Copies of this chain bind each other. A is one copy, B any other.
Amino acid sequence: MKYRIASIPGDGIGPEIVREARKVLAKVGEVYGHTFEYEDLLMGGCSIDVYGESLTDETLEKAKGCDSVLLGAVGGNVGQSNWYQIEPSKRPEAGLLKIRKGLELYANIRPAILFDELSGACPLKEELTEGGFDFVVMRELTGGLYFGERKTIEENGVKKAIDTLTYDENEIRRIAKWGFDVAMKRNKKVCSVDKANVLDSSRLWRSVVAEVAKDYPEVELTNMLVDNCAMQLVRDPKQFDVILTENMFGDILSDEASMVTGSIGMLSSASLGATKLGLYEPSHGSAPDIAGQDIANPIATILSAAMMLRYSFDLEKEADAIEDAVKKVLAEGYRTVDIMDEGKTRVGTTKMGDLIAERIG
């Protein structure tokens, strides 16, 4: 098959890490008989330098015409870069919001994987994480408290601020479907997280999720209160497969989960919407201070590319091949500097990409 990918390296270490992900995809194409074509696009500071804004409408349209988007990272050094001397709506990070909105992406997936080989970096005791863990937090991205109406008023001289948390059943249903679809490609367990003992929006959430679950008889659905989930992530992260939750709870829990892995630089992410077109990017930032030195860790981006194969292209065994190659390279003791440890072999960005590509097929 032939796939057309919008390649958006962005700023800082973005170009290096996207280059390595493309190297790995090229090897996958070779081994499994696929062609990955790229539309090279500018976003972030590099687009500001050329067009005066982080993402032009033309670039967005070109991305929409592709099968999927692979993104590096955007942004520079806030204190120093003149990318931040322009109006906020044109700055690097505004491009990210614009592309998510333009592609109508409403589901964010953040895997929390503890590779057994990197358990030294995990803050939890080994007995709790033996064998590693691998779950995802699926967060609704466009609704809830973060996008509700808000205002600050004055009543009898007293300032009062009001934020609104709104969800309708359609917004819940579409993300719930993604949650179960993703679970079907994983261990077939969905844990829906809410605060249904208090919030109306959570009670609606829980009932719609239960409805959607009926179409996925193979998937086991459980419900958990958000405060309990914040505890369980620390106590027993191995119990989870897919955590499905609304925007704000997902914000808090996905960050907590990433810290529980101890290797934030290794974590990929995906944003999905109504179609198969998704946006895949590492969880980490553009790290301008180490750009161009061949020391950045490309693994989060390479794992993002694997997610693209799995969720946008339904190329399961190809995605597995990338993930297995990453595990192999780690097991063989290769490390970039950010995950370097005693007795391991330190390699640079390019070499890490080579090693992973070599282990495919």
A residues whose Cβ falls under 8 Å from a Cβ of B: 122-125, 128, 145-146, 150-152, 155, 158-170, 195, 198-201, 203-205, 226-228, 230-235, 248, 251-256, 258-260
Please name the residue on chain B nearest to A234 by beta carbon: B259
Interchain CB contact under 8 A, B253 and A161: no
Enumerate chain B residues within 8 angstroms of A159, measured Cβ to Cβ.
168-169, 204
Enumerate chain B residues within 8 angstroms of A145, measured Cβ to Cβ.
145, 165, 198-199
Interchain CB contact under 8 A, A152 and B200: yes
Interchain CB contact under 8 A, A162 and B200: yes
Q: How far is the CA of A260 from the CA of B161 in the complex (A)?
A: 32
Please name the residue on chain B nearest to A199 by beta carbon: B163
Looking at the complex, which one of B128, B228, B259 makes contact with A255 (CB distance below 8 Å)?
B228
Q: How far is the CA of A259 from the CA of B199 in the complex (A)?
A: 24
Interchain CB contact under 8 A, B168 and A158: yes
A91 to chain B, nearest CB (A): 14
8 tightest A-B contacts by CB? A231-B259, A161-B204, A230-B256, A160-B168, A161-B200, A150-B200, A227-B255, A161-B201
Looking at the complex, which one of B128, B146, B200, B234 makes contact with A163 (CB distance below 8 Å)?
B200
Enumerate chain B residues within 8 angstroms of A199, measured Cβ to Cβ.
145-146, 150, 161, 163
Q: How far is the CA of A204 from the CA of B154 in the complex (A)?
A: 12
Enumerate chain B residues within 8 angstroms of A258, measured Cβ to Cβ.
231
Interchain CB contact under 8 A, B226 and A252: yes
Looking at the complex, which one of B128, B170, B230 makes contact with A253 (CB distance below 8 Å)?
B230
